[in-house]
Amino acid sequence: MCGISGAVGLNNISELLFEGIKNLEYRGYDSCGVALMKNNRILVKKDIGGVEEFYRKHNVIQLKSKIGIAHTRWATHGKVTQENTHPFISSDGNFAVVHNGIISNYRPLRDKLKKEGFNFRSGTDTEVLAHLLEKFYKCSRNVEKAFIKTLSVIEGTFALAFISSYLPEQIFCAKRESPLMLGIGDEIKFVGSDFNAFIDHTKNAVILDDGEYAILSRDAYVVKSILSEEEVTKPITKIEWDSETSKKGGYPHYMLKEIYEQPQTISNALDLEPSGLDGVVDMFSKARNSYFLGVGTTYYVAKYAKYIFSQLSQEFFPSISSDEFQALANVDKHSLVFCASQSGETFDTLSALKHAKSKGARIAAVVNVMGSSIARLVDKVIIQGSGPEICVISTKAALSQMVILTLLAMKLALKKKVITRKTYNQHLQALRELPEIIQGVLNERSGFIHRLASKYSASRNWLYLGRGVYYPIALEAALKMKEVAYVHAEGMPGGFLKHGTLAMIDDDVFSIVFVPPPEDKVLYESTLHSIEEIRARSGFVLGIHFTPQGKNQDLYSEELILPKVPPLVAPLVQLVIGQLFAYFTAISLKRNIDKPRFLAKSVTVA
Ligand code: G6P
């Protein structure tokens, strides 16, 4: 979604604002802009394109100022044009606003304001905010009062910040259902959509709650309730992330860096405080019905959980895409709704959880971002400790969530006595071996995958096939291909192929098959049947498998042989191959790897 960054300090903040929105670019990157206070007048610069390009083109760093707000956009209302880029200024030029979210009643507000003579320059919902501030200021001659009045007439969701030439040393901001937080430094204060806006400068954050607004100046800040206008005492949250982890560190792209960080993030997941996991397992064991939720990648994480829980704990838990939850699920106080979310801010998942909570259900989550809306909403949260994930395409966060969910399934199975302590320990040992296995695969197979991806990069249609727990892996690997390479890739259960899709097999349709280890006999053999079905129609099959060289040699058109690994972790190892295959295909196709077109990492609108 859009990124907001603002700073007020003792010295020039232009460069800090640049770093701030640069670090938030993964939230949106259609266009960007900045409003700076110069000699008590507001100066706005904005343009389409990425942050670096914008700053260079308009020489923004040279515009010195001690207070400003900046924005990087992911368009929802209004096309990607310079006019529709934030910040927006009021007709009289005394207010400049940036906003994330959707002002749902902006049309009637705009029509009324137009009749009153306000001059609109964009097609966005946000612009009404600037004009409303001007209008209400004229009545009260008080910026704070004008702000409260503006907030009282707008509907929808927002995180917003503005500066005003009437109070040229203060930043005003507020939030409802879109994330916003303050960074508290000595003689400098920040506002940002998330920690990345200021992590290089302070690790002290104040997380705003819905219905709160804040006023920041160089030396002070105050948080108040929009409703009562009374001051709210807020705790300081210490950011545990290291700002260095947010840097590319020698890798050409964040995506590759984050894929390579997976051995570490899996180790972090396995080292999580056991009591936190046990508390969630307890919730599962007490609930009469439980659901797994997520959207996009995290829906596939939820789907993986469905398989691993029914396999290990011998209990079926449905997985539902968060956006479909209300249409499908019937929850009450005996239900548990467990979601996975990297950002902890995704609107669809947050709405589903709020709905479940309103029905009395217990809610829990695995989340990567501490202090995020979901982390604070749920009854129990597991903070997965994967560190910042900057690339829009999720890799390390998703894999770590899968590891954590495997652990939860094992713990539930042990609690229910459907597995013995010995089996539990064997599974745990398999998980403990996973970081080293993945490290080996990254070291030894990346070159081969790169060559394979280059060779087939012109292929425009891929079927990704897997059976059982390999099906969500196929779905997630296919999503990587779609997101980063813009290549059509369809994930499908192997057994489903013969019921229709087989008709498509020809020279232009390529298949990737995630083959389980032979020890997983039933799944392995049924997967081979799917491959035979394609090969019998002269279709192309890339087999990703664990069978020793030479065995089933003629089965595949191309093969990628993996070392023997414990069957429990085999699907997770294969997902890494899927990630790399998508990455290298995108490299061959010269795609915008970390910021694919039309996407945003954290989708905080409906
Ligand atoms: C967006 C992103 C996806 C992500 C999904 C869920 O659609 O583009 O990459 O998987 O949101 O995000 P979450 O932060 O809730 O895991």
Is 298's C-beta closer than 6 angstroms to any atom of ligand 1? yes
Active-site residue flag, 173: no
Separation between Cα atoms, residue 186 and residue 8, nearest integer Å: 11
Tokens standing for 428?
Answer: 């745990």
Could you tell me which of 246, 487, 290 has the C-alpha nearest to residue 380?
A: 290
Separation between Cα atoms, residue 41 and residue 203, nearest integer Å: 31
Is 599's C-beta closer than 6 angstroms to any atom of ligand 1? yes
pLDDT of residue 1: 66
Distance 298 CA to ligand 1 centre (A): 7
- What domains sit in the chain, N to C, each tagged with a CATH number? 3-239 (3.60.20.10), 250-419 (3.40.50.10490), 445-595 (3.40.50.10490)
Distance 16 CA to ligand 1 centre (A): 27
pLDDT of residue 600: 79
pLDDT of residue 284: 97
Separation between Cα atoms, residue 376 and residue 344, nearest integer Å: 9
511 near 490, Cβ under 8 Å? Answer: no
pLDDT of residue 196: 87
Instruction: State the virtual CA torsion across 606, 474, 269, 310 in degrees, nearest 10.
Output: 90
Residues 6 or more apart from 261 whose CB is under 8 A from it?
386, 387, 396
Is 346's C-beta closer than 6 angstroms to any atom of ligand 1? yes
Which atom in ligand 1 lies closest to the alpha carbon of residue 479?
9
Could you tell me which of 34, 55, 44, 56 has the C-alpha nearest to residue 90?
A: 44
Ligand 1, atom 15, lies closest to the CA of 341
Separation between Cα atoms, residue 6 and residue 217, nearest integer Å: 11
Q: Mean pLDDT, 10 residues at a time, over the chain (606 residues)?
A: 91 90 82 93 92 86 92 82 93 96 94 94 93 97 98 95 98 94 96 91 94 97 96 92 73 94 96 95 96 98 97 94 93 97 94 97 96 94 93 96 98 97 97 96 93 95 97 98 97 92 91 96 94 92 88 86 96 98 97 88 73
Catalytic option among 2, 32, 173, 339: 2
Separation between Cα atoms, residue 69 and residue 192, nearest integer Å: 9
Separation between Cα atoms, residue 512 and residue 152, nearest integer Å: 54
Active-site residue flag, 396: no
